[in-house]
Amino acid sequence: MATYAIWNNKGGVGKSYLTFQIASEYARTHPNKKILVVDLCPQANSSGMLLGGMEEGERVLDNLASQAPRKTIAGYIEDRILSPYVNPRTGSTYLVNVSQRNPAVPDNLYLIAGDEQLEIQASRVLGATAPGPTDAWRLVHTWISDLIEDVQHLWNQSDTAVFIDCNPSFSIYTELALSASDRLIIPFSADGSSKRAVRAVLALLYGITRTRGSQQSQFYLNSQQSRLQIPKIYCYAGNRLTQYIRSAKAFRTVVHEIGDEIWSVWQANPNVFHIHPTGSGSPSNRTGFNRMFQFEIVDANTASVVSSSLGIPIVRLTAGYQDVADRRVMVNQRGSPDGACGIRVDRSHETPHSALLHAGYNLALTSIDNAQALVCN
């Protein structure tokens, strides 16, 4: 299975919400596999959702951070600061079985929780990349890969599906996450800053600049020199979950402009994309490219807010009143053969194929390459 990084070089694009929903649904449809989420964002929003939502999730995070050592990603990072070039094999000790804290989440979903302490540790992590042994930069950039291997060893499961929620900026933690990932999901919102952020992703990861001869990022250069993998683009997802844009036309315009940018990258550098599903050929035209790599996620309105606030995956959300921040909120029932609010299970494929219905729009997860692919129909 694969390791997916969910990242764009800006905040407010819904990456933590998507991490929460994608990982929860993948775990639900693969009950015999243990699934891992690594939260490398100091804001720890995806951890909060997984651990119970806006209020309960924050209480659980505070409890995890109060333990000695901190039972969060910061605890592991502290171990690595003390042993930067030799793996202490402590990664699995920071695992949290999410369902023990939040019964709404499948019991095969595990988490390395995020922690605001990451910000304080960042300078020491960066300092470990140099000076030191000649390959210090490479060794530090394998810390998260080491963590994942520690967990796989504990589980005796080498084909673990992993989802990494990244820091929105290109920090040292973003670099560590991307060095550990096979595939990249790029969420974006419909604004000019998202267009610039997508361009930054292409330059920072793949050395693809808009102007010939422009300076390339040190991460790209060092990764090439150290022969560290860089994740391939799995998809870029236009996300209206965070938008206040009433006009679908305005949203489509931005999607199209960003699509033009990435389509031109495909034409010149198809090797930075991951072809899917299994057995598919490379897209031969723009329509085929859009079908494979471009997705749009539409807001489920109240259901999205309730789902994230209460830590209930949207597939488990039922119609009726819910208590959110001392308010009674109504979640409307949509037509669904499975009886859940806004959920439809698509059995038209031989492989497990579950869908989250977002205001009449399907965000689906389908089994591809023994991993889970993000598919929006």
Asked if 20 contacts 366 with a C-beta cutoff of 8 angstroms, the reply is: no
Question: pLDDT of 279-337, one tens digit each?
Answer: 899 999 999 999 999 887 766 667 888 899 999 998 888 888 888 877 888 887 653 33
Domain limits, the chain? 3-314, 315-377
**Residue 283, number of CB atoms within 10 A of its CB:** 18
> Which superfamily does 3-314 belong to?
P-loop containing nucleotide triphosphate hydrolases (3.40.50.300)
Higher pLDDT, 366 or 31: 31
Q: What is the largest CA-CA distance in the chain?
A: 60
Q: How far is residue 341's CA from residue 333's CA, in Å, rounded to a whole number?
A: 5
pLDDT at 226 over 90: yes
Range with the poorest average pLDDT among 1-10, 174-183, 319-328, 366-375:
366-375
Whole-structure pTM over 0.75, yes or no?
A: yes
DSSP 362: E
Distance CA(303)–CA(357), nearest Å, equals 10
Q: Tell me how far apart the alpha carbons of residues 220 and 159 are, in angstroms, rounded to a whole number.
A: 27
pLDDT tens profile 240-265: 544 444 456 766 777 788 888 889 88
pLDDT at 191: 67
Q: Which two tokens stand for residue 218?
A: 């040190």
Of the candidate ranges 77-81, 101-105, 182-186, 239-243, the one whose mean pLDDT is the lowest: 239-243
